[in-house]
Amino acid sequence: MHNDVEMVEDCVFCKIIRGEIPSVKLYEDQQTYSFMDINPISFGHSLVIPKHHAENIYVTPPHASGAAMIALSKVSAAINRAIEPEGINILQANGPGAKQSVFHTHFHIIPRSVDDGLTMNWELQPGDMAEIKLAAKKIRAELEMKG
């Protein structure tokens, strides 16, 4: 277990973890914190964040993202039992193109219903297999270089 929790002074999520900004806490352990989203897009919309400050998933240390995944599973299961939605989306955004608004890695848990009108879903359309294989080749090369 890693206890090297790094926080940043002016990060809103780090301030929430330190108790400087109030939150409606759901869960906390040594490495993660979960709380209700105060701008919810559905009933039960919540967040899970690693306590270790990192701007996005690309630079989040594996121990912090792994701990967040464990908390995400626990909190999502509790939301599923408590709220009984028809489904749950897990959303994690990185960078302006993905509409990331707080630059501290975080995961949204969004309870859903079939006809809720939320527009994050997309229709399945077959892709170009040559493009899919090219993307996979480039990604595998990076994984082999970086391990």
Active site residues: 106
What is the largest distance, in Å, between two alpha-carbon atoms of the chain? 51
CB 57 within 8 A of CB 92: yes
Whole-angstrom distance, CA of residue 106 vs CA of residue 71: 12
The size of the chain, in residues, is 147
DSSP category for residue 44: T
- Distance CA(69)–CA(32), nearest Å, equals 9
Residue at 100: amino acid letter: Q
